[in-house]
Each structure stands twice: as structure tokens, then as C-alpha cells.
Amino acid sequence: MRRLRRRVFVSRKSLRILLDTSFLLPFLGIDVGEPITKALQRLRGYELYYSELSLLEALWKIVKVVNIDKMSIVLEGLALIRRDLKLAPIDERATKIALELYRLGHRDLIDNLLYGITLSQNLKLLTIDEELISFVKSNDYPDTFISPNEL
């Protein structure tokens, strides 16, 4: 008699993903290249989150490259993000983790906070930031990362 194997599938709805800033920029009218654009096309069906920190970081980048006449695209994108994605809060645990990483030598506090949020809120961080990924792993912190190729 043949044994039936059960496959365990992870529902897209069960995977909760925090988008790194690079993945929010296209919503705001900024071209970030093909790998990110293709990844965004595969996000349908996942439970998606954003952080206000990423919006702030995105705006720092946007003010350097966007003319005032294109500001309506940015504002529409902000409204779309707030409407369609869920807000991931910064809590005490996320802050503690971020400060630990900073003390250990990773000086990008926003990236540290985003990573801390993933641990405190049980999320995956969609990122292409190899420096952050390598730093976290080399310091034996849990791997909460998901790459565009894993979508």
C-alpha cells in the first residue's frame, strides 16, 4: 500500500511581511530597478506591513530627486500605502533589539528598528540589504528575513 505524503503549504495569508524602505519607494513614484519591481508583483495575497520609519527614510530620499510638480504622485502613494498596508508599530522590544544591534556595531538605526519590529511583531522583513542580513546572522540573532526570490 502506498503511503500518501502530506505536503504542508504555507498560506500566503499566514505570512506577514514588513516591507523594507526600498519596497515602498515604487509606491511613491521612485524607480528602484527590476528586482524590486518584480518582487512587488509577487506580493499579492501576503499580509503586508509598513513602518512610519520607512516612510520617513523614503521621504529623505525623495526630497533629493523629486521635483515639486511630481509631489502629487508621492502623496497619492502615501495614501495608497496607508490604505492597503498595515502599520507595524515600534514597541519597547523592537527598540531594545535595535539598540543592541547599534551597540554591536550596526550603525543604521532605522534598519535596526525595522529588524526589531519583525521580532517583536512576528513578521518577516522583505529586504535586499545584505549588510543587515549578514550582521544579524553573524551576531546569532534570529533570521526573520525574506528575499525577493523567496516570494
SS (H, E, C) the chain: CCCCCCCCCCCHHHCEEEECHHHHHHHHCCCCCHHHHHHHHCCCCCEEEECHHHHHHHHHHHHHHCCHHHHHHHHHHHHHHHHHCEECCCCHHHHHHHHHHHHHCCCCHHHHHHHHHHHHHCCEEECCCHHHHHHHHHCCCCCCEECHHHC
Residue 3 has pLDDT above 70, yes or no: no
Other Cβ atoms within 10 Å of 129 Cβ, number:
18
pLDDT for position 13:
58
Q: Where are the domains of the chain?
A: 16-150
CA 20 to CA 49: how far, in whole Å? 9
> Mean pLDDT across the chain, nearest whole number?
90
Residue pointed to by grid coordinates 554591536: 104
Q: E strands of 100-151, at which residues? A: 124-126, 145-146
pLDDT digits (tens, 9 = 90+) for 105-136: 999 999 999 999 999 999 999 999 999 999 99
Q: What is the pLDDT of residue 5?
A: 40
* pLDDT, mean of residues 59-65: 88
Find the mean pLDDT for residues 19-34: 94
- Note the pLDDT tens digit of each residue in 79-103: 999 999 999 999 999 999 999 999 9
Show Cβ contacts of residue 119 under 8 Å, excluding neighbours closer than 6 positions: 93, 94, 97, 141, 142, 144
The helix (H) or strand (E) run that includes residue 19 is: strand 16-19
Query: In this model, does residue 10 exceed pLDDT 60?
Result: no
- Chain length of the chain: 151
Is a pLDDT exceeding 90 seen at residue 8?
A: no
Q: Tell me which CATH homologous superfamily contains domain 16-150.
A: 5'-nuclease (3.40.50.1010)
pLDDT class of 60 with cuts at 50, 70, 90: very high
pLDDT at 63: 87
Q: Report the pLDDT value the prediction gives residue 14, as an integer from 0 to 100.
A: 73
Residue of 65 and 126 predicted with greater confidence? 126
